[in-house]
Amino acid sequence: MKAVANGVWPLARGDGSIDSKSPEYQKYLAENDAVVLFLEALKQHQKSEDIVASCCRAMEAICVNDTTCKEAESAGGLKLLTNLIRDQKDCEKVVAKCASCLSCFARCDLNKPKIVRTHIYPPKNRPLKLSHIKTGTTRSVRVSHLAHASQEL
């Protein structure tokens, strides 16, 4: 599963060249329920950091428009990701990848208020640290920032 999920990003995102077939592959994956398959894999392999990270990255590559983001939400994607963030809050890699995937699901305007209403708060008002895997920088999110974001919507 990990190898399949890892292969989706370069296939669906490509190298950025003008003659790239990546948009066609991304559309094919989206139309053939790849997001639903990766959500099912997440449910089955919740305890495996690497599989969770790989599936989230694959879904980020596929969920690029309103339609696919709505389908991901309809298939239970928002609930599953928020539950993973809550249940595995001590595993920074899982939290970071699930949060990144949630941000991709927010590409659909209908999902934005749903994501804010999930109330993913750190315990006892402490900062929730998310390690950004590529740069190694650390971000802190406080409850007050999440509350402010919900007021803007």
- pTM passes above 0.85: no
What's the pLDDT score for residue 119? 64
List the pLDDT tens digit at each of the 153 positions of the chain: 888 888 898 888 877 777 788 889 999 999 999 999 999 999 999 989 999 999 999 999 999 888 999 999 999 999 999 999 888 888 888 888 998 898 888 888 888 888 877 766 554 555 444 444 344 444 444 333 433 343 443
How far apart CA 79 and CA 87 sit, in angstroms, is 12
Closest CA to 56 of 100, 25, 106: 100
Helix 49-62 to helix 92-105 angle (10° resolution) is 20
How far apart CA 144 and CA 141 sit, in angstroms, is 8
